[in-house]
Amino acid sequence: MPRRTLVCVFAHPDDDAYGAAGSVALHGDDPDFRFVLVHATVGELGEIREGFPATRETLGAVRRAEDEAAWRALGRVPDRHEWLGLPDGGVADVPAAEVVAAVARILQEEDPAVVVTFGPDGIFGHPDHVAVGAATDEAFTRLFSGDPPGSRRLVHGAVPQSVFERWNRQRAELGLFTFDPTRTYHMRGVPDETIGITVDVRAVAGRVVAGLREHRSQLHVMSDDPDDTVQWERRVGREWYCVVWPPRDPGAPMLTDLFDDLR
């Protein structure tokens, strides 16, 4: 198994489009890179924008197809794509042991160098995000916490507090609604000092946006102006991650890639 195996565990189709798509695009042509994507749900309870040809009964299948089309548009499809089939909006109601076991099975089979998931903030406080992140953390810890530091890494996608505040100020200046981090489904940041990896993905931002545009049923909730390519490319130009394992020493230098310093 190649050592540059990346496993991303997310809750819904389109979480991945904002999550680690830039990092995948940067490494996509590396012959040692293996990309494994895990979705807990097919997002069947997502919003359906006005006039979009989907129903409550068909939306899950539509969103699954959109996600697969998004990776084709980005130019690097997953080497393995697992759909766990958990209920959208109800992942937290599934016995935690079942979710942990489902994720652990995949991690054990893939032996990843890096695992990406949600942190306790869920970025938007979404209960599905939080539950998926917690289950992935538990699965990783059970399998790999005894490994030598530096051999693999567990990270949480996140938004630095300073960036969150800047985005919120800009939104207020433009007359757009602002996020309230005390409310569920609203973006929130994490303390800047907890960010351990900042990846500059501006070189592939156009590919990331091409993938985002394939999530057609959700464009109304993904961007204030889906036609503004410049805004979207600017927004996705960087990815931030908190390093959960191995523990990061205070004052450690910022890493610039998911695989930095792994051996």
pLDDT recorded at residue 1: 43
pLDDT recorded at residue 150: 83
Phi, psi dihedral angles at 49 (to 5 degrees): -70, 150
Query: Distance between CA 77 and CA 70 in Å, rounded?
Result: 9
- Written as six digits, the tokens of 104 are 């652990």
Q: Which of 88, 93, 90, 81 is nearest to 9 (CA)?
A: 81
Long-range contacts of 23-28 (CB under 8 A, 24+ apart): 23/199, 23/201, 23/239, 23/257, 23/258, 24/74, 24/76, 25/74, 25/75, 25/76, 25/201, 25/204, 25/207, 25/208, 26/199, 26/201, 26/203, 26/204, 26/257, 27/259, 28/75, 28/76
- The residue ranges of every structural domain in the chain are 4-159+188-245
What would the pLDDT profile of 92-133 be if each residue is shown by its tens digit?
999 999 999 999 999 999 999 999 999 999 999 999 999 999
- Written as six digits, the tokens of 19 are 């999550």
DSSP 74-91: HT---SEEEE--PPTT-G
- Written as six digits, the tokens of 129 are 């995000």
| CATH code matching the domain that covers 4-159+188-245, chosen among 3.30.2320.50, 3.30.70.1730, 3.65.10.10, 3.40.50.10320 | 3.40.50.10320
Q: pLDDT tens track of the chain, all 263 residues?
A: 447 999 999 999 999 998 899 999 999 999 999 999 999 999 999 999 889 999 999 999 999 999 999 999 999 999 999 999 999 999 999 999 999 999 999 999 999 999 999 999 999 999 999 999 999 999 999 999 888 878 899 999 999 999 999 999 999 999 999 999 999 999 999 999 999 999 999 999 999 999 999 999 998 888 888 888 888 999 999 999 999 999 988 889 999 999 999 98
